[in-house]
Structure 1
Amino acid sequence: MKLNGNFQNLEQSYLFVTIAKKVNEFTEKHPDNQLIRMGIGDVTLPLAPVVIEAMHKATDEMAKKETFRGYSPDSNGYPFLREAIAGYYQSLGVDVEAEEIFVGDGAKSDVGNIVDIFDDANTVLVPDPVYPVYVDTNIMSGREIVYADANMENGFLPMPKADHPADIIYICSPNNPTGAVYNREQLQAWVDYALDQKAVILFDSAYESFVSPGLPRSIFEIPGAEKCAIEFCSLSKTAGFTGMRCGYTVIKKELCFDGVSVAALWQRRQGSKFNGVNYITQRAAEAVFTPEGIKQTRDAVAYYKRNAGVMVDALRELGYWFTGGENSPYVWFKCPDNMGGWEYFDYLLNEKQIVGTPGEGFGKNGAGCMRLSAFGDAEKTKEAMERIKKG
């Protein structure tokens, strides 16, 4: 018996462990602290009333023999939810069929699991800085990883280059951690590149609900994407499902390599390794896509976007270079006085009683940057920015 040696190549996941340790040490020394936590990207508002109502109704159904549900018809999701998601795409002007939608327990799971259907010999291209899951899941499989430099000069939106040949391309827009958003022309360049390389784009649209009109919310708004892209989305940030766990993956029927349907492979993989999302959660998710559900969840998104606006206004007043905020729940900025990310983290914690996330935790290009989350309380967000502005 041998263990998977690729796990030994993973860097220690120290970021949030280190943050938690530093915060715990601070609170032990200062039990009467007034910490404002802006580091983790977890939501704070409750679920929408229409979602709660749907959950109660579905729970009642599970209590009666006539309406009880056991195993899902298949692991891809109940037809009622897949059709609701397809209708949502139609409202965005994107043609997606219900059969092209696969319901899962969140974008993180699907983004990590999708690599099962790709050969380990493929070369992977990811931006730096980057959401760690993209890197770690491919290290576990032993794939070669190359990095596209995201930096201040390109607004943390790297573009394809001829010297970056790749088979699997990760794009997150709006980006985590930087909050930067690609426009249509930029995404078209990536789609054209993928088609030329005969590569697949893994497009993470977990934060699409924060995008302003005029910017693409789905990779399938871009001509040619149906032949080279897979889209992952989550209800975690759209509808506050971080504790509920529900998302979906879209694979168009046109996506084939060597005559093999990618959707068919994913369906086969899920059927073997996944039993599907529970019925109550799927009914809750269905409610998100009703007219009232969209209104209520958009109200919550607007709340977080107002928080982001407060953060952006403060950073502009201070003259700090930043991305994100306007189309994202994250604001990513250069630390003042040429501080490193960890150095500025310690300063905010000890001097301002604010918890952020140092950019070094997302890759070498994150050095000297800080990420703040807009998913907190409105009054605390205002207070935090006032503390930062006081210097």
Structure 2
Amino acid sequence: MPCQMMAASICIPRAVSAQPATTFPSWKSFRERRTDLQPGIPRSVHMENLQNEYLFPEIFMRESEHARKNPHAKVIKLGIGDTTEPIPNIITSAMVEKAHALSTVDGYTGYGLEQGNWELRKAIAERLYRNSGVKENEVFVSDGAQCDISRIQMLLASNSTVAVQDPTFPAYVDSSVIMGRAGRFQAETQKYRNIVYMKCVPENNFFPDLSSTPRADVIFFCSPNNPTGNAATRQQLKQLVDFAKENGSIIIYDSAYAAFISDESPRSIFEIPGAKEVAIEISSFSKFAGFTGVRLGWTVVPEQLLYSNGYPVIKDYNRLVCTSFNGASNIVQAGGLACLSDEGLKALRKTVNYYKENAKILVDTFESLGLKVYGGKNAPYVWVHFPGRDSWDVFNKILQRTDIVTVPGIGFGPGGEGFIRVSAFGRRDKILEASTRLRNFL
């Protein structure tokens, strides 16, 4: 008999009938009979297609080895884009208040909506997409942009084709490999066979030649770009939206660094007319609010975005979120709301400007060495060109001579060879010390 709910809301468990005793062989005895036995589950062929380690753990390994060999070195980390400035008190106070409320009867909350706190979704729509027509129900709060990059891959058909900027943030490629969309890695080209690499280099102003770009079902596009620091212009993004419409493609637009834009470049793909019919936007509190360790982001899925059969993508994304995610922390979402208050935004602008000043110091330093430098204006990354040089060799040389950690451009794809990425996230004294070391040793 199934459980029956009684008037007192007590569930009566079903009776358990006696079963004849059954003796199963122990795993130990099974192993003793088959000493050559390996685990019975084969490794995913898609995981086997991943090349080496993920970029940043590889950098950490080299950094650790350098520290082991040089125990007295004072290493300055300008590699991984981790924030360093304290989160403003107006924001942490909101999280403390929420955390304390959980210890009270009136203030306790359990599960929240998987899609996020409605008040926070509304604040994101109104404060960050005020002129773009984004509605609060189109905003899905998450635990960070990188998590959503991978989640969104689950939304796509298994045979969907993928295009990425080259160079590009590794997560777009690696998540495509894991989902089986990338095909085999080709050592001679340093590319995956089934991925379209859209070359974005100084010669084309870091924007792909769409007239010669093959069609892809999904286009990952990051602006301001990680790693190059370039922000696409309004005209360029209009070309991208038109290209997606003509080819029936979906743009996955990463705007995690939008708060760093200093000029008239769009901060959202939805500033472009028609973009809501072809684009999904992923963003994050990590870099502009210092939430790298706190974890909070969001994804916008417009109601107008449809599959080829006319079914709304937002319905599938909502179902996906409800299945794979229990919602962002209630405490962290309280911090997110404080970020978007007038006082919170004012405090965060100071933090963003601090990092932008760091970037200017780094740009000036590398330019004083006669090097061509890109980025650093609309993004917290400086993209430095070492023509004809192996980027891992440049990485190693800088680490060995100056005890400074950077990122080799090849880690972002073949288009990154000959470059290094330098992060402007750091304490000012470290940035100034790095500038001195670079001027003296390079």
TM-score when scaled to structure 2? 0.85
Q: CA distance change for structure 1 residues 345 and 88 in 2, over 3 Å: closer, same or farther? A: same
Distance in structure 1 (CA, Å) of the matches to 2:264 and 2:55: 35
1:132 pairs with one of 170, 174, 178: 170
Distance in structure 2 (CA, Å) of the matches to 1:321 and 1:285: 38
CA contact (8 A) 1:157 1:181 kept: no
Distance in structure 2 (CA, Å) of the matches to 1:213 and 1:341: 30
> Partner of 1:317 in structure 2?
368
> Partner of 1:111 in structure 2?
149
> Partner of 1:8 in structure 2?
48
1:369 pairs with one of 419, 424, 428: 419
Unaligned runs of 5+ in 1: none
> Partner of 1:329 in structure 2?
380
Distance in structure 1 (CA, Å) of the matches to 2:331 and 2:337: 10
> Partner of 1:184 in structure 2?
234
- The correspondence of residues 217-296 of structure 1 with structure 2, limited to 5 A, is 217-257=267-307, 258-296=309-347
SS of residue paired to 2:210: coil
Distance in structure 1 (CA, Å) of the matches to 2:141 and 2:209: 30
CA contact (8 A) 1:129 1:150 kept: yes
Unaligned runs of 5+ in 2: 1-40, 182-193
Once the two structures are TM-superposed, the CA of residue 162 in structure 1 deviates from its matched residue by: 4.2
**Larger mean Cα displacement after TM superposition, 216-225 or 109-118:** 109-118
1:82 pairs with one of 121, 127, 130: 121
Structure ranking higher in helix proportion? 1
2:64 pairs with one of 20, 24, 28: 24
Distance in structure 2 (CA, Å) of the matches to 1:263 and 1:305: 36
Q: CA distance change for structure 1 residues 163 and 305 in 2, over 3 Å: closer, same or farther? A: closer
Larger radius of gyration: 2
Q: Deviations over 1:240-260 (max 9, x none)?
A: 000011000001111112211
CA contact (8 A) 2:55 2:170 kept: no
Distance in structure 1 (CA, Å) of the matches to 2:152 and 2:361: 37
Distance in structure 2 (CA, Å) of the matches to 1:174 and 1:260: 31
> Partner of 1:297 in structure 2?
348
Structure 1 letter corresponding to 2:88: A
Structure 1 letter corresponding to 2:87: L
Which structure is richer in relative contact order (CA contacts within 8 A, separation 6 or more)?
Answer: 1
TM-score when scaled to structure 1? 0.96
Does the alignment pair 1:344 with 2:394? yes
Distance in structure 2 (CA, Å) of the matches to 1:161 and 1:56: 52
CA contact (8 A) 1:40 1:357 kept: yes
Does the alignment pair 1:308 with 2:359? yes
Structure 1 letter corresponding to 2:101: E
CA contact (8 A) 1:340 1:368 kept: yes
Q: CA distance change for structure 1 residues 230 and 349 in 2, over 3 Å: closer, same or farther? A: same
CA contact (8 A) 1:360 1:369 kept: yes
Once the two structures are TM-superposed, the CA of residue 2 in structure 1 deviates from its matched residue by: 5.0
Q: Deviations over 1:144-165 (max 9, x none)?
A: 3111112231233224234411
Q: Deviations over 1:90-147 (max 9, x none)?
A: 44x2221111100000000111111211101111111111111101111112213111
CA contact (8 A) 1:104 1:248 kept: yes
- The correspondence of residues 185-224 of structure 1 with structure 2, limited to 5 A, is 185-224=235-274
CA contact (8 A) 2:141 2:299 kept: yes
Structure 2 letter corresponding to 1:99: N
CA contact (8 A) 1:155 1:323 kept: no
Once the two structures are TM-superposed, the CA of residue 35 in structure 1 deviates from its matched residue by: 1.8
Distance in structure 2 (CA, Å) of the matches to 1:246 and 1:70: 18
Runs of 4+ in 1 over 6 A off after TM superposition: none
SS of residue paired to 1:66: coil
Structure 2 letter corresponding to 1:292: E
